Amino acid sequence: MKKLTIVLVIALVVAAISAGVAWSNIAAAKAADGDAPPTGSRKVGVLLVSHGSRSARWREMLVDVEVAVKERVLADGSIAAVRSAFMEYNEPSIATRLEEFDAEGFSDVIVISLLLTVSSHSFDDIPTICGVKADASSTAHLQSEGIRTYKPRAKVHLTPLLDFPKMLEDNVLRRVRKLSKNAAEEGVVLVAYGDHEYTAEWDDLMERLKKTLAAKAGITVGAHAWCGHVAHYSKEPTKSGIGEVLKSRERALVVPLLVAVDENFQHKIIGGAVQESGFGERVVYVPDAILPDAGLEEWVVDIALSSRRKLEAKP
């Protein structure tokens, strides 16, 4: 009886070992097929960061970018979440989103800034908020504005900035062609936010856009104006640009170079300047924005996936 019991025990042990080996082989095969993630794999999130605005319409247009790209970014399973955050004025803030990623066990967060051009926001503020840069001046400024910073447990990866000159060339060219009727009689007024610290870079960008319009749309007269805090949110620079163009052209095409639609800018400041200019139908203006833009969406998808692939080469 004892011998029989020992034999049965041994048989059960052998069976269990065999079953374990078989299950291990099945699990390995599934992992190889992509049905199950490998042990110790990263949990990666993408955070789309925008400036923030008091305008609900502005915020909606930025969240629309997230909606437009999410399916493609998540398609292969290498990225677990795509979310939006605002640098100031609004929730969810960058700090709030990073706290969420930590609470959900994310190992890495790819931060993509949806900003028009170079500024202190992209080089100082956003890296400081994310805890990847220690900048005393930026920290003091953020604190004075009531903007929270947060150093997450997850590793933050800041992507390169958007190739805004190339993207904007295509964007502005498309929008100007919709407004244009006779290029020889028209000039363009480009109205952008502006930046105190990077005026030279913004000026260079505007000049590059004017050259593109001259070469590809035949509009050889142009002016640009600022409408943000650098211009004290004044209508006067836009009115001045309109007047400059109409000295030598019959019609002025006014194009806002703002990421999204904010009633204060497109309607009150730029639209108000158009109405107050006194030139009536000689000024053509549509209160639109850079968004929506398929090119920007493609860039977000490409940089999110390429950044994720780069993580594979890192320990």
Two tokens at 115? Answer: 């900003």
C-beta separation of 149 from 97 below 8 A: no
**In contact, 266 and 258? CB cutoff 8 Å:** yes
Residue holding tokens 């999204």?
260
Token couple for 60: 């909606």
CA atoms within 13 A on the CB side of 173: 17
Sequence length of the chain is 315
Sign of the CA dihedral with 44 first, then 45, 49, and 52 last: negative
* Residue 217, amino acid: A
CB-based contact 81:45 (threshold 8 Å): yes
Residue 238 contacts residue 270 (beta carbons within 8 Å)? yes
pLDDT for 123 equals 66
**What is the b/e burial string over 16-36, where b = at least 16 CB atoms within 10 angstroms of the residue's CB?**
eeeeeeeeeeeeeeeeeeeee
- Is residue 262 a contact partner of residue 193, using CB atoms and an 8 Å limit? no
290, HSE (Cβ side, Cα atoms, 13 Å): 24
The rounded distance, in Å, linking the Cα atoms of 187 and 69 is 35
d(CA 197, CA 273): 25
Burial of 8 (0-12, 13-18, 19+ CB in 10 A): exposed
What is the distance, to the nearest Å, from the Cα of residue 253 to the centroid of all Cα atoms in its chain? 27
Q: Which amino acid is at 289?
A: A
Please tell me whether the overall predicted TM-score, pTM, comes out greater than 0.85 for this model: no
269 close to 227: Cβ distance less than 8 angstroms:
yes
| pLDDT value, residue 164 | 76
Listing DSSP states for 22-77 in one string gives HHHHHHHHHHHHTSSPPTT---EEEEEEE---S-HHHHHHHHHHHHHHHHHHHTTS
Q: Going by C-beta distance under 8 Å and a sequence separation of 6 or more, which residues neighbour residue 141?
A: 125
Q: Average pLDDT across each block of 10 residues of the chain; the chain has 315 residues. List them in order.
A: 37 36 33 34 95 91 97 97 93 96 98 79 83 81 88 94 84 97 98 89 93 98 95 97 98 96 97 97 97 94 96 77
Write down the pLDDT at residue 176. 98
Find, among 92, 194, 189, 231, the residue nearest to 148 by Cα: 92
